[in-house]
Structure 1
Amino acid sequence: MITMYSLKQQAAAWLQPLTKLSAQHIISMLEVPPSSALGDLAFPCFTLAKSWRLAPQQIAAELCESFHTVAQPYASAAATGGYINLAWNRKYYAPLLLDTIALPDYAQLQPAQKQRIIIDMSSPNIAKPFGVGHLRSTVIGAALYRMYAAAGHEPISVNHIGDWGTQFGKQIVAHLRWSDSEQAAADPIGEALRVYIKFHEEAETKPELEDEARDWFRRLEQGDEEALELWRYFVKVSMEKLDLIYERLGVQFDEVLGESFYNDKMPAVVEQLSALGLLEESQGAQVVRLDELDLPPCLILKSDGTTIYPTRDLATALYRRNVMKGDRLVYVVGGEQTLHFRQVFAVLHKMGYDWANDCDHVAFGLMRINGKKMSTRKGKVVLLEQLIDEAIARAAHIIAEKNPTLPDREQVAQQIGMGAILFSDLKNARQNEIDFSLEEALSFEGETGPYVQYAHARICSILSKAGAVTDDPAIAQNEPVPEMWSDSAWELLGHLSSYREVLGRAVQLQEPSVMARYALQTARLFNQWYSRDRIIDAHPQVKPDRLALAKWTGATLERTLKLLGMAAPQEM
C-alpha cells in the first residue's frame, strides 16, 4: 500500500523493513545522485556491510531485488557500486504528491506531545528608541511563534520590557537636568535619548553624576513617589511608541510583563537559595558557585544587598513555569548573553528543577548597518521607524518606475519594504552577525524578500491569465502531447512535498532561516520550471496538472512567507 510522504520519507518507508534501520537513520543517509540520470535519491550500503557480512555491492544488488517487490509501480531501483539508486515513476507518483499537497491539513504538523512554549522576545528598554538592534529578537521570536503553532504546539509570546534597573537613575537625572519641555512634548523618546547621551558625556568629567543616579534608583526601589511618577511617565510614553512600531511589524504579544513585574518575586528566590545552602559570600556579595561546570559564580545579591539580573531571571523562570504553566521556556536574546543564561539555567538545576533542561537560550548575532555597530549610549543608533520609512519609500519609487499603473501601490510598497527588512534578517542563520544594506535588501534579484514576493505575484498573474484563456482545439489535434513531469517540474514538485519535513527541522533547530531558505528555493525552482515549460497556453492534456503545480507553489510561498511575518502580494 502506498503511503504519502516526501520523497525521502517515502524512500525510508520502503527501505526500513528491508534494512531494519530506523526511518530517521535512513533519511539521514540518503543522498542526491550527482546526475539526475542516475535517479532521484541514492542509498549507500557501506554501513550495512559489517552487520550483513556482505560486500556493499552485493548488498545493493539484493536490496534492489527486494525493493521492486515493495515499491512497484511507484518507483524502481538500480545498483551502482555500493549504492542503490532510487527513481520514482513520475506518471504514477506525481499525481499522488499533488493530491497530498492539496490536503486541507497538509501544512499543519501534529507533534507527538503538544507543548506550551513561553517565548521571551523583543524586550526593548523603556525610554530608549526602538533601534534595529531589537529587530532581531522581535522578528526571530515572532517567526518562531508562528512556526511552533504550525508544528502543533501552543506558543505564548512575552515581551520582557526593560523597565527597571540602574539606567533609570541616570535617565531621571538627565531628564531633570537637561530635558526641554517643548521637545519632550513633541518627541518624548527622542528627547529622552538626547539627554541620556548627554548624561554619559557629562559623567566622563563629572563622576558625581553617577552617584546622583544611583541615589535616584535607590529612591525608586524604595517606592519614593517622585521617582515613581517620573518612572511611570517614561513607561507610558515608551509603550505608546512601541505599540505603533509593533503594529507596523505585524507583531503581537500574549503578555507584556516588564522587569518591574518581578520585583516582589525575587526575595522568595533569595530565601530559597539560602535555605538550600547554595548562597556563598564573595567580596561582600552573595553568589552561587558553579565551579563544577567551569562557570564563574552567579551573582545573586550585590554587596549593597540589591538584586541583579540573574536574580530577576530566576524569578521570571519560576513564574513562567509555575504560574504560566510553560512546558518549555525559550529566550530569544543576543548571543552576548550566552554566559548569563548558562549560569541561570545551571542555578535552576542546583535548586532541583529538572525542567531547567527545557529552558533554551535561542541566541542570535549582532546586526550592523553598513558595517557599523549600534550603541545607544554613544548615540550610534539607527531607528527602526526611519529604516522602515526609507524602505517603503524606495519600494514605492521602484513600483513607480516599473509598474506605475499598479493598483494599491501604497499598500504593495509597504509590503515590499517591510518584507525586504524582515527577509534580510531571517534568511541568515540566527547566530551569524548581519551587515544590513537596504539597497541589497530591496533588490528583486538574489536572496531577497522582493525576489520571493515577486515569484508569488508572477504565479498569481499566471493563474489569473490562464483562467481567461480558452484552449485552442487545434493544439490538441496537431501538437504532440508534451511530457508533463519534466525534470524541472518534477524537482519543483518534490521540493513542495518536503514542506512538512523542512518545517519540522526548522522547529527542531529553532531556526527561521531554514524556512526563509526554503522560500528562496521554492521561488528559484518555480522560475526554472516556468522558463522551460509552457503553462498558460500548455497542451490541454497537461495544462490542468501544470496549473495545479503553479497553484500549490503559490500557496506554499504564501504559507512560508506568512511564517516569516511577510505579506505575499498578488501584484507587484
Structure 2
Amino acid sequence: MQDWFDLAKKMDSLVLEAAATAGLEDTFTADIRTADPRFGDLQANGALPYAKRNKANPRQIGQSIVDLLEKNEDLTSKVEITLSGPGFINFKFKADFLQDWLKTFSGSEQLKKAAAHLQENETVVVDYSSPNTAKQMHIGHLRSLIIGESICKLLAFCGAKVIRDNHIGDWGTAYGRLFYAYKRFLDEENLEANPLGELERLYKLGSKLATEDEEVVKESREELVKLQSEDPEAMALWEQVNGHSIDGIKRVYELFDISFDHYLGESFYRNMVEQVYKELEESGLGEESEGAWVVFHPEHKRYATQPFMYRKSDGASNYATTDLATMLYRAEHFKASSIIIETDFRQKDHFEQLELTTQKWFEKTGRTFPKFSHVFHGTIMGENGKAMASRTGEPVLLKDLIAESIERAEKIVREKNDEKIAKGQAALAEEEIVAAAKVIGTSSIRYAELSQNRTSDYVFAWDKLLSFEGNTAPYLLYAATRIKSIFRNFEAADLENLADKASNIETDEELALARKILGFVGVLQQTVETLRPHLLCTYLFELAGAYSSFYNANKVIVPEADIQSRRLMLCQRTLDVLETGLGLLGIPTLERM
C-alpha cells in the first residue's frame, strides 16, 4: 500500500507520461500538490504555467492529459479524475482505496515509516534558542526555543539524523564586569537557588559600579584581559560561571521537556578563527577596508557596498568570525548535509551574508557547502500592541510566564471538574488535575506560538490561548480525550483488528474524515519543506473539525458489528494522527481532562 508521498510521486509520473504522449514539450511539469477538498485529494497544476509559456489554452492542455489518464484502468479503478478551473487535474481516491489505506497505516510507527523517506539520509544541524549566559531567559527567547524544537522533531520523524546545537553566547566583554562583581558580591545561596537570576544581578551590579567608579572600569578590563589571554585562574572562574549559567538555562528548558545534544557556544570556536582569517585571505575573498577585514558581494544590490566584516580594525574577531568557524565545524565535524539556524528577523541580513560568504569560501577551498536555512521569526506583542513586558517594564521571564500559564490552566480545570461533579459525572482526582494543568499550561503557550506563521508578529492573549474553542491546544487536547473516552467502553480485545472487521466507508462524513487522515504525510512534507510548523497546526485543527462533524452525524456505538468496527477504526486512526501530530509539536495528550 502506498503512502501519500508515494501516491504523489506516482501521480507525477503518470501525468508526465501522459503529457509526453500528448506531444507536450519536456518542459512540462506536473506540479502535484494537495488539492482543495472540494475537488479532490491531489491536484496537478502544471497545465497553467505551461500554457502561459507557450501561449496555449490551459484547459485544452489539461483535458488532453485527462483523456489519456482515463484510459489507464488500473488508475481509474482507484481514482476519480476531473478537470477544474484553467486546466487543474484533480485526483479523488475512491472509498475502497481509502479503506485499504486506513487498514495499512495504523499507529505512529506506521505513519513514521510513511514519512521517513522525506528526509532520508539527511544529517541536519539545528541551531536554536542560543541565549547569552549569565542572563535570565525571558519571553524574547520563547519563539526560537519552541519553533526550533518543533523543527527538530519534524525532521527526525521524517527520517533525518538531527543534531541539536545550542550556540550560546558565552564569551565576550560582559565577563569583565561580571567577574569583578562575582568575586566581591556573590550570594552563594541565591546562586544555588536561581543561578541565572544571581549572575544577572551580579552583571548589572558590576555595570552600575563601572559607571560610578573609574577604578571599577580598570579592574573589570583587567579581568577581561586575563580571560582573553586564557589565564588559568580566569578560565577556572569562567568555567564555574558558565556551568552555573547552563544549569539555569537547563532548568527553564526542562519546563518544556527540551534538551540539547551540544552547547557549543562562541567560546568553543575562539581558537579556530585564525584558520578563517588565513583561508579567506589566501582565497582572495577577504580584503582590507578601512583597517578591517571584510568580504564584499558585488553581485548583491546592498552587500556590494555593505561588506561582511569578519575582523575588526583592532584585529579582534566578531560574531561573523565565530559564525564562519561554526559553519566550517558543522560541515566537517558533524558532516552536516543541512544547517538550520533559528533566530529573530533582525538578524536576517547577517545570515544572508554568512551564507553568501561561506558558499564562496567553501567553493574556493574545495569543500561541499551544506544546504543552509535561516529560519526567522517575528515579535510577540502584548494585548496593548507593544512588545510584551512585565509591570516593571522588563521583559517577562520565561519561568514566570510558564508558572502563570499553569496556574491559569489549573483554575480552568478545577472549574470544569466542579461542573462534572454537579452533573454527577466522574471527576478528576487531585493528581489528575495537577498533571492536566501542567500539560495544558505549557502546551497552550507552545501551540499559541507554533500555530502562528513564524514570520509574522502575533498578540499573546491569555483568554485566547487557553480557550477550549478555536485553534488552540486545549481544543485539540480535548478532541483527543473525547476519542479516548469512547474506547473506555470496550475491552482491549474488542479494539483489535478493527479494519478486518469493518465494512466499507460509506457516509459523506466518514469519507471526509478518511480523506483528511490520508493527507497527514502530505502536510508533513509541506511543513518540512517550508519549515513552518503552523501548517501542521492548521491541519490538526481541521482534522479535529472533520472528526467532530463525523461524530455528530454518525453514531459510533451501534448494533451492527461491521459498522461499529469501521467507525471505531476511524476514531482510532484520527487519534493516531492527532497524538502523532501533537507529539511533533512537543505536546503530550491526556487520558482525561
**Hey, what does 1:328 align to over in structure 2?**
338
**Hey, what does 1:423 align to over in structure 2?**
447
**Hey, what does 2:63 align to over in structure 1?**
60
**Hey, what does 2:199 align to over in structure 1?**
192
**Hey, what does 2:471 align to over in structure 1?**
447
Amino acid of the residue matched to residue 63 of structure 1? V
Amino acid of the residue matched to residue 266 of structure 2? E
| Equivalent pair of 2:120/2:158 in contact (CA under 8 Å) | no
* 1:107 aligns to 2:112 (yes or no): yes
- For residues 236-264 of structure 1, give each alpha carbon's deviation from its aligned partner in whole angstroms, at most 9, with x where no partner exists: 22122222222221112222222211111
Deviation at 1:414, TM superposition (A): 1.3
- For residues 85-126 of structure 1, give each alpha carbon's deviation from its aligned partner in whole angstroms, at most 9, with x where no partner exists: 767574423312312332753333214851111111221111
| Equivalent pair of 1:16/1:23 in contact (CA under 8 Å) | no
* 1:19 aligns to 2:19 (yes or no): yes
Q: Distance in 2 between matches of 1:40 and 1:328?
A: 31
- For residues 422-458 of structure 1, give each alpha carbon's deviation from its aligned partner in whole angstroms, at most 9, with x where no partner exists: 1111111222223322332111111111111111111
Written as runs of structure 1 = structure 2, the 5 A alignment for 1:25-424 is 25-28=29-32, 31-32=35-36, 36=38, 56=59, 60=63, 63-64=66-67, 67=70, 69-70=72-73, 71-77=75-81, 88=92, 90-102=94-106, 105-108=110-113, 109-111=116-118, 114-175=121-182, 183-184=190-191, 186-198=193-205, 213-293=220-300, 294-295=302-303, 296-353=306-363, 355-356=368-369, 358-370=371-383, 371-373=385-387, 380-403=394-417, 405-407=427-429, 408-424=432-448
Deviation at 1:397, TM superposition (A): 1.6
Q: Distance in 1 between matches of 2:394 and 2:492?
A: 55
Q: Distance in 2 between matches of 1:185 and 1:29?
A: 54
Deviation at 1:304, TM superposition (A): 2.2
- For residues 389-412 of structure 1, give each alpha carbon's deviation from its aligned partner in whole angstroms, at most 9, with x where no partner exists: 121122222111112522422222
**Hey, what does 1:476 align to over in structure 2?**
none
Q: Distance in 2 between matches of 1:438 and 1:529?
A: 30
Say which is worse superposed, 280-289 or 544-553, in terms of deviation.
Answer: 280-289
Q: Distance in 1 between matches of 2:175 and 2:232?
A: 14
C-alpha spacing 1:98/1:285, structure 2 compared with 1 (3 Å): same
C-alpha spacing 1:177/1:137, structure 2 compared with 1 (3 Å): same
| Equivalent pair of 2:61/2:87 in contact (CA under 8 Å) | no
Task: Percent identity, please.
Answer: 30
Q: Distance in 1 between matches of 2:333 and 2:294?
A: 26
C-alpha spacing 1:369/1:199, structure 2 compared with 1 (3 Å): farther
User: What SS does structure 2 have at the residue aligned with 1:432?
Assistant: coil
**Hey, what does 1:548 align to over in structure 2?**
569
C-alpha spacing 1:284/1:454, structure 2 compared with 1 (3 Å): same
Deviation at 1:129, TM superposition (A): 0.9
User: What SS does structure 2 have at the residue aligned with 1:105?
Assistant: helix
Q: Distance in 2 between matches of 1:186 and 1:66?
A: 69
RMSD between superposed Cα atoms in Å: 3.6
C-alpha spacing 1:461/1:213, structure 2 compared with 1 (3 Å): same
Q: Distance in 2 between matches of 1:298 and 1:55?
A: 47
**Hey, what does 2:529 align to over in structure 1?**
508
Q: Distance in 1 between matches of 2:171 and 2:201?
A: 20
User: What SS does structure 2 have at the residue aligned with 1:465?
Assistant: coil
Q: Distance in 1 between matches of 2:334 and 2:360?
A: 22
C-alpha spacing 1:67/1:315, structure 2 compared with 1 (3 Å): same
Q: Distance in 2 between matches of 1:306 and 1:361?
A: 26
Amino acid of the residue matched to residue 18 of structure 2? L
**Hey, what does 2:499 align to over in structure 1?**
none
Q: Distance in 2 between matches of 1:468 and 1:537?
A: 18
**Hey, what does 2:497 align to over in structure 1?**
none
User: What SS does structure 2 have at the residue aligned with 1:360?
Assistant: strand
| Equivalent pair of 2:138/2:398 in contact (CA under 8 Å) | yes
| Equivalent pair of 2:32/2:44 in contact (CA under 8 Å) | no
User: What SS does structure 2 have at the residue aligned with 1:134?
Assistant: helix
* 1:521 aligns to 2:542 (yes or no): yes
C-alpha spacing 1:41/1:300, structure 2 compared with 1 (3 Å): closer
Amino acid of the residue matched to residue 56 of structure 1? R
Amino acid of the residue matched to residue 301 of structure 1? R
User: What SS does structure 2 have at the residue aligned with 1:107?
Assistant: helix
Deviation at 1:334, TM superposition (A): 1.9
Deviation at 1:291, TM superposition (A): 3.5
Say which is worse superposed, 166-175 or 195-204, in terms of deviation.
Answer: 195-204
Deviation at 1:216, TM superposition (A): 3.1
Q: Distance in 1 between matches of 2:344 and 2:33?
A: 34
Q: Give the TM-score taking structure 1 as reference length.
A: 0.86
C-alpha spacing 1:57/1:401, structure 2 compared with 1 (3 Å): same
Q: Give the TM-score taking structure 2 as reference length.
A: 0.83
Say which is worse superposed, 101-110 or 119-128, in terms of deviation.
Answer: 101-110
C-alpha spacing 1:538/1:497, structure 2 compared with 1 (3 Å): farther
Deviation at 1:153, TM superposition (A): 1.4
| Equivalent pair of 2:174/2:203 in contact (CA under 8 Å) | no
- Aligned with 1:491 (options 494, 512, 517): 512
| Equivalent pair of 1:456/1:557 in contact (CA under 8 Å) | yes
Deviation at 1:550, TM superposition (A): 0.7
Say which is worse superposed, 152-161 or 55-64, in terms of deviation.
Answer: 55-64
Q: Distance in 1 between matches of 2:62 and 2:530?
A: 34
Amino acid of the residue matched to residue 131 of structure 1? H
Amino acid of the residue matched to residue 98 of structure 1? L
Deviation at 1:222, TM superposition (A): 1.1
Deviation at 1:195, TM superposition (A): 4.1
Deviation at 1:557, TM superposition (A): 0.4
Amino acid of the residue matched to residue 545 of structure 2? R
Deviation at 1:329, TM superposition (A): 1.6
Q: Distance in 1 between matches of 2:69 and 2:439?
A: 53
Amino acid of the residue matched to residue 570 of structure 1? E
Say which is worse superposed, 378-387 or 443-452, in terms of deviation.
Answer: 378-387
Q: Distance in 2 between matches of 1:87 and 1:180?
A: 68
C-alpha spacing 1:373/1:194, structure 2 compared with 1 (3 Å): farther
Amino acid of the residue matched to residue 19 of structure 2? T
Consecutive unaligned residues in structure 1, runs of 5 or more: 471-480
- Aligned with 1:465 (options 489, 512, 525): 489
Q: Distance in 2 between matches of 1:135 and 1:205?
A: 34
Q: Distance in 2 between matches of 1:493 and 1:570?
A: 24
Amino acid of the residue matched to residue 552 of structure 1? R
Deviation at 1:9, TM superposition (A): 6.5
Say which is worse superposed, 102-111 or 514-523, in terms of deviation.
Answer: 102-111
User: What SS does structure 1 have at the residue aligned with 2:362?
Assistant: coil
Deviation at 1:274, TM superposition (A): 2.7
| Equivalent pair of 1:68/1:76 in contact (CA under 8 Å) | no
- For residues 282-322 of structure 1, give each alpha carbon's deviation from its aligned partner in whole angstroms, at most 9, with x where no partner exists: 33322223344331222222222211111111111111111
Consecutive unaligned residues in structure 2, runs of 5 or more: 419-426, 495-501
| Equivalent pair of 2:195/2:244 in contact (CA under 8 Å) | yes
Amino acid of the residue matched to residue 105 of structure 2? I
User: What SS does structure 2 have at the residue aligned with 1:119?
Assistant: strand
Amino acid of the residue matched to residue 361 of structure 1? H
Amino acid of the residue matched to residue 240 of structure 2? Y
User: What SS does structure 2 have at the residue aligned with 1:351?
Assistant: helix
